[in-house]
Amino acid sequence: MRRRKSATEAESPPARRTRKRRSLSALRDKAKTGTRRKAPSTATPSEDSVSIDSFAAASLKQYGSYVVEERSITDFRDGLKPVHRYILWAMKNLGLNSKSKYKKSARTIGDVLGKYHPHGDQAAYGAMATLVNYKLSPQLVDGQGNWGTPVDNQAAMRYTEARLSAMSDIFLLDKGYLKTVPMVDNFDNSEKVPLYLPATLPMLLVLGSSGIGFGVKSDSPPFNIDGVYELVLLGLKAFRANKKLGPNNCAKHLRIDYSYGGVQVSEDEDVANLIKYGKGSIKFAPEVNADWKNKLIEIKSFSPGFRSSNVIQKKLAKFAEMDAVSKAGDDSNEKNPKSGPLGAYFYIKPARGLSEEKFFDLAEQVFKELVSSESYDLGFTVRRADDSNMFVKSSFVTFFNNWIKYRVQLEIDYLQALIDECLTQIERTELLIFGVDNRQVIIKSLDSKDPDKFLITKLKISAEKAKAILDLQVRKLAKLEKPALLQKIKELKAEIRQYKQDQEDPTPRIAAKTKEQFKAYKSRVK
């Protein structure tokens, strides 16, 4: 008796190999339009399935794009990750500028979660803490209370307070430049948020960046703001001469600011090679003070390998076992007057009877023990400076030259906004002049049954203009003098001519603005 073949067996291998499954794109089209895209002629008409492999790959790609765009990687223009941008934007909308009173951090985080970033409160608060704890490089948020140290977590958000820093006010949230930034919908389309903040310094260099996303990463140390400022002015000169800066120019002006207070002990050549070639290790050591008078060796900052409690305790235990050491301890606390800027304070007491020479030998040995390296693989995966939100991997030097292009375009857009404002003022002033010239007719129209129709007929103007005239305060028209209004128009037209001239070559204006902002910042952070 012949066994009946199963459905799987009955289908020949070639038939199975040629079967076509509906593509994910076809399903997307169906979801968008409500209609089914015509299937290829080789497909089985009744089939309505997607392979698990295809679906998984597409879903993973979609999730990866979300992680990169919304969480992991900084933006080309402002050097901020989305959560950091939302925090600054929320604080701005709460009126928490650098001169306002501090407000509970929980208030800011509540707005961030409810309006812009619907994720975990601790994650958002942790991101806020990173903006506060740039204590040796510019802070974007000025915090009050216990915001933690490299070895201790910050207090709960209900205990800490914060406001925007001078850095954010001056270089990121200038109200004039904000007018040029595209606004996009938030996650539930209930609020508008800026696509990026109009940075007037390359914040990616000032703050540094470390982020890993779906197949992408950014890795850069923070650089001293003075050097970044000098480099921007040099980059503007190069742009005006239709040139680009090379790695030597960048390496000459940029100096690494180690975030934890360590002292750079590598040669300047090591830093230059890091910038030129994108890879390298820079050695740092903590600040070590050898006080022979008080018989004490003090350590007041952290080095890369010396910023977790476990590593610190192991190092101190190793020092304590030395014959020349009687005690090694940890009194790290920001309230300790002897501590460094991040609350670091470790001490080593020499053994009784240790000679001065051996004491300083011990201090040198401690210093060498604490030297460690920070490895960098410089590369920036950032959003391009346009509305596409596409991502691109950029070298260090390429990033900076492209940022200069963005800065020039930002100024051109800002000048255009000023031109548009002047044109609006001219239009309104001309309307006032028209109202002054026809004051009696306007007053008479107020006694008619249909003032709009009366003005349209008598003055032969459009309905829109008639409405605008009637919106004017008649008493105000009586006080206005035509010569003053004509002079105002003359001045506005002169401003427009100057703005248009600046648009042709905005670099001198940008340089002057950058110098002004930098001076204001330095005066605020002394």
pLDDT, tens digit, 9 for 90 and up, residues 375-410: 887 665 555 544 555 556 667 788 889 899 999 999
- Please provide residue 13's backbone torsions phi and psi, each rounded to the nearest 5 degrees: -55, -45
Q: Which residues in the chain land under pLDDT 50?
A: 1-47, 60-61, 63-71, 212-216, 385-386
Domain 284-377 has CATH 2.40.50: no
- CATH 3.90.199.10 domain range(s) in the chain: 80-198
User: Which one of 66, 102, 116, 159 is the catalytic residue?
Assistant: 159
| Strand 183-185 with 192-194, pairing | antiparallel
H helix intervals, 11-70: 13-18, 24-33, 52-67
Rounded Cα–Cα distance for residues 461 and 97 (Å): 46
Residue indicated by tokens 């007057």:
337
Yes or no: say if 161 and 171 are a contact pair by the CB < 8 Å rule: no
> How far from chain centre, in Å, is Cα 223?
15
- Please provide residue 329's backbone torsions phi and psi, each rounded to the nearest 5 degrees: -140, 170
* Rg (the chain; Cα; Å): 32
> Interior CA angle at 148 toward 147 and 149, to 5°?
135
Among this protein's residues, is 134 annotated catalytic? no
Contacts of 395 (CB under 8 A, 6+ apart): 278, 378, 379, 380
In three-state secondary structure terms, 280 is strand
Question: Which pLDDT score, from 0 to 100, does residue 340 have?
Answer: 83
Question: Which pLDDT score, from 0 to 100, does residue 120 have?
Answer: 85
CATH numeric code, 80-198: 3.90.199.10
H helix intervals, 116-246: 121-132, 166-171, 175-178, 203-207, 225-240
DSSP 6: P
Structure tokens at 436: 């002054």
The model's pTM is 0.78
Cα-based distances in Å from 69 to 57, 329, 372, 389, 423: 18, 45, 34, 8, 37
- Please provide residue 292's backbone torsions phi and psi, each rounded to the nearest 5 degrees: -70, -35
Class of the CATH-defined domain 411-524: mainly alpha
Question: Which pLDDT score, from 0 to 100, does residue 9 have?
Answer: 44
Rounded Cα–Cα distance for residues 144 and 148 (Å): 11
Question: Which pLDDT score, from 0 to 100, does residue 86 have?
Answer: 95
- CATH 1.10.268.10 domain range(s) in the chain: 411-524
